[in-house]
Structure 1
């Protein structure tokens, strides 16, 4: 009498095919959940700031995290009047725009030859620009003040624009040089064959190629110059030339501050930055993608 072992049934091909699909779905759900949690962690302080800015000090003290029973827009009306918001916005946009344009123009002009000429002096100049990134701004305050004083530019927008541009120029040169090294030289050679000189090649070839990198650099410079407090605080003294950060700083008392006065000014000061970021978001993503693909 022979005993035969029971035959094992082969695994179903349908079950074998659905297992990797189920794992991919679980990984997708986990990644989306993680991104959602990170997004909530990032925007939670912003939402809390906006909520508290619409409450009175007594309401915040009584219910710091609860939904406000009464929305108080008087805080923003008082902040706009105290800041002279239109004047502060104009001053900050003028300084930020002027510094950004100056940095992007001079940075691209300096980065172009350093990315094409392989000489000892170009490497030395490039290293000097990179070394400028390591100098803290507080070390340059006194020399900048004395330099602007000798030029009789104290308490002028030009002094702040030139100082902000000088501080941001090393990063722009480093950024543009790295980007241009990945751009083929044949584009410039073709322009030279067509009879284009250096300035025409720069205007019609280099600047269009740098457009994605320029958009990415523009938002970085805007954030840095817009939020800077030290340079305007040292070089500007007139009330009519105050920037957003100086107006926000003026609401902070020596020993205490009022949330109904401080937070509305913070929201009003950062709202234009949010508009700029949303407007340039597509170009920023294109610049990062172009840099990655070229690298």
Structure 2
């Protein structure tokens, strides 16, 4: 029974989406059943987080489609006047890291320190991420300066010629690898699901919207990628139930053995996080998990704690 319960819990997200959205006449993501237009963004951070921008910019220097660094040809100002990289400004660093910045006509504009460029790591180093794997010493190097401060290698003898080298403010980008939802139809989906949560389980509006939004985001991610990751599931579980998935799994295992203490504690913590009373939180948990339990041959009415 423990393995069945574990497998059932790992299917909970699909169950929650179905009960929260399908029952409202909607559908998650870009599919049918009332699902609206989904806006997909092409760029992501080195960590795989989707950036909510349609343009290459610091912090958004990898392609969502393949995870590869963007190239100078991806910059919105590349070739805007038909001259390719000649339409971009460029930067020349000297042996001390001091930079001379020139406009697209080759006219000197100003001097700058290496620390003034996006992605500054320290010394004469600019890079991406938290380790030296994607860092670059820019001493005596030349770089195209793209829109919003993206630097692209103009060093023809280097293996990363033409690629973006810097990244900035990754923490400000979306921390989920989800396509963004902002169409009117998707907002209506969240509104309907929120109303269901308020009507059936006693949620306050702000908490209901937060839970419904998390479910809708998961649905879009699953539709976009055709699968859901452990990270997606853990994050959605936390947003939906207010507790860690690992804690819930341990509590359900204890419950299956007749020990209710952990599940009672989990329910109280979930109630506190969601702004519900314990009996409302229990009803919500059982309601969201009902179909997954049924899929494994269990009746939610047979479980109590």
TM-score normalised by L of structure 2: 0.29
Higher helix share: 1
- Name which structure has the greater RCO, CA cutoff 8 Å, separation 6+: 1
Higher strand share: 2
TM-score normalised by L of structure 1: 0.29
- Which is greater in Rg? 1
